[in-house]
Amino acid sequence: MSAKTIKKHCALDSQAEELLHQAMTELNISARGYNKILKVGRTIADLDQSENVRIEHISEAVQYRNLDRDLWK
């Protein structure tokens, strides 16, 4: 997914955006990690048959990202 496609298909509401920014700050997530979380969040939303990526989808994606980082230390 290109940056333009991510922006189009992974738009977040204010709560989800705030959660993601908080996770970036507290977990020291890079811009690349940010995009990965958005894509995973979009996938989770699709599996949930949700048109929009909501806070619960981003929360789950952040948990997966954090788990992935913990396993590869």
Helices 14-27 & 55-71 angle (0-180, nearest 10): 20
Is the pLDDT assigned to residue 55 strictly greater than 70?
yes
pLDDT value of position 41: 95
**Residue whose entry in the numeric block shows the structure tokens 């507290």:** 26
Partners of 12 in the β-ladder: 53
pLDDT value of position 10: 86
6, two tokens: 């991510």
Domain 3-71 in CATH 1.10.8: yes
